[in-house]
Amino acid sequence: MFSFWPFSRHDPPPADYDPSHEDCTDCNVPAPYTHRVVFGAHSTCVYGYPSSGGVLVLPHCNGVDLLFLDLSCFEPSERGEDSAAEDLHCARMQKLGASWFASAYEYHTMEFFKPGTRARETLIVAAWPQNGPGVWVLSMRVVDAAQQGLERVWNASSMDERCEVVKMLGGRFYDDPTLCPDLKL
């Protein structure tokens, strides 16, 4: 495994460290990533672990997203042991436009190995009316989000209010959410 020390946040290697073991697949195997909700300095990220493998990531969540996902807005949580319940959680995440990665490590290192990747990403904002069928979806590149005023979406205090903002910003309504190409339902 390649080490980014001294540029990583990890401690320096011990005095008896032998770099010849860097490529050893049995050495330094990371523990499985089990976080479900991670509160950062400026944003909240939600993870899901589908039974089919990989990890779903929903960055930049706010209270409306967390309530939609039936998660606490104030307490971090870990993934559950029940794979059926985890798959249901992942299905709800996909309704909000979560992205799939082979691992949490791939998500966390994406920008390092492929600079500019996140700036070229497409942001997907889904708004589900609380009473009624369908979904409002707004899709735009990250680099265009500030110019379009996407930040207003995160100021919504309910999913219905988010529907109004997505509509105002030019979002599209789908009577049948499975027909929305941005949500992989």
Range scoring the smallest mean pLDDT among 4-18, 144-158, 167-181: 4-18
Q: What pTM was computed for the model?
A: 0.70
pLDDT average, residue stretch 132-161: 85
Question: pLDDT digit string (tens) for 65-92?
Answer: 999 999 998 888 888 889 999 999 999 9
Q: Output the DSSP codes for 81-132.
A: S-HHHHHHHHHHHHHTTPEEES-HHHHHHHHHHSTTHHHHSEEEEEE--SSS
Q: Which of 66, 81, 113 is the last residue of a domain?
A: 113
Does the pLDDT at position 107 exceed 70?
Answer: yes
Judged against a pLDDT cut of 50, whether residue 134 lies above it is answered with: yes
The parent domain of residue 149 ranges over 121-179
Domain check: are 163 and 108 in the same one? no
Residue 111, pLDDT above cutoff 90: no
pLDDT band at 118 (very low <50, low <70, confident <90, very high): low
Q: How many CA atoms lie within 13 A of 68 on its CB side?
A: 25
Does one domain contain both 38 and 96?
yes
Indicate if 85 and 140 belong to the same structural domain: no
Question: Is the pLDDT at 116 greater than 70, yes or no?
Answer: no
**Predicted confidence (pLDDT) at residue 163 exceeds the cutoff of 50:** yes
What pLDDT score was predicted for residue 59?
86
User: Is 15 part of a structural domain of the chain?
Assistant: no
